[in-house]
Amino acid sequence: MYSSGSHDFSHLSARKQSFIPSSGTYPKGFRASGVACGIKKNGNKDVALVVSEQPCSAAAVFTTNAFKAAPVLVSQATLQKNKNKDIYGVVTNSGCANAVTGEQGLANAKRMQAIMDELTGHTSSALTMSTGVIGQQLKMDKLEPGIRDAYARLSSEHDGGWMDAAVAYMTTDTFPKLMSGQFSAENGPEFRMAGIAKGAGMIHPNMATLLGFIVTDAYVAPELLQETLKYAADRSFNSISIDGDMSTNDTICALANGASGVRIETKNDPAYTIFRDSLTSFAAELAQLVVRDGEGATKFVTLHIKGGTSFESAKKAASHISTSKLVKTALYGQDANWGRICASLGHSGIEVDPSKVSVTFVPTDNSKPLPLMISGEPEVVDEVRAAEILKMEDLVIEVDLGLGDSETKFWTCDLSHEYVTINADYRS
């Protein structure tokens, strides 16, 4: 049985329990909390805060959906006004997306920030996030006291602090997505990162991610933090897909408070590349947790696109294949119908020379890969071996375009009957 403080996850499979941390190494100067205020019908936690004791550099990437939710608009305006600095925290509610809610929704998102300003003693102090059902107004009579309660319960501890916040982010998620880690700057002190993400459906981001944040006790100059977050997001949260739908609320932000003593002021700083690459790998692991919790998913699939003419073209191909319903249903049915992969690649919009394309199933148990097509020529596929590989929960599909040296990895899942059931009943 797995439990973390007041949270009991024993109903989950052993596989999913393995993704939930029982402890953590959290950045200095940050505290977190999560409480229930009554927005969710089931009474689960629905308000989360993360707050820094000192002002932070801040960065964010947002949805490109035309129907940007009110909290997205407020956060964008705040970063512009503050010039990506002097941010003290993030306030989040789940259970109501506050999206497509007009002027009242915008006023409610601003009110969330105003309460944080009152509590922190600073103006324009917090970024705002919301997730849940679209088109419904926030219950501010419940949320306002909920934010105050969450602020009173802020903690630097794993249980009662960070894990509570991660649980409060959840909607159709089956497990909280919380990570932390410690990293070393070159010939300097160590710095830490912590991150929370949520999402299990309506996930195919562009320039952003579902909902999530990463905080660090390194100091990173505001313009560099924005640049490194964009770099990391392109290789993590912008490289995942569950169902091909982009949310109105997609946001991922990063806060850096400098409490560790690590300071990164310019790209010439030796710690810059270390921080950028650490942030990227950290974000990739956090994003993969979202795919592993995909609504109704039974497979975690890594698309490894090689031999592209550019990173962008390889990523475009991976993104297109990841949204193919025919590919995803074949994976669910454990059917080695690799022709669907080629068909999807062929109308992805990138340069393709069919005579140079190779497709391979790569099992994750380190056993022998199974070539399906080599340089445009189909292989005689061992269907028994293919079935063995497709029964595994994790699978790598390698597509070599044979045109260049660029490559990328993209993470997705299969599409099951359960996905339809979950989304048919979402508002009930």
Q: Catalytic amino acids?
A: 209
Taking the C-alpha atoms of residue 240 and residue 203, their distance in angstroms, rounded to an integer, is: 8
Residue 47 tokens, joined: 């308000």
Residue recorded with tokens 């917090």? 126
Contact predicate 60/252, CB 8 Å:
yes
Taking the C-alpha atoms of residue 254 and residue 27, their distance in angstroms, rounded to an integer, is: 13
Sign for the CA dihedral angle at 248, 78, 267, 270 comes to: negative
> Pick from 68, 150, 144: which is nearest to 113 by CA?
144
Contact predicate 63/208, CB 8 Å:
yes
Taking the C-alpha atoms of residue 22 and residue 150, their distance in angstroms, rounded to an integer, is: 22
First to last CA, the chain: 30
Q: For 191-260, what is the HEC assignment?
A: EEEEEEEECCCCCCCCCCCCEEEEEECCEECHHHHHHHHHHHHHCCHHHEECCCCCCCCCEEEEEECCCC
Taking the C-alpha atoms of residue 191 and residue 181, their distance in angstroms, rounded to an integer, is: 9
Taking the C-alpha atoms of residue 396 and residue 417, their distance in angstroms, rounded to an integer, is: 23
Residue 268 tokens, joined: 């010439």
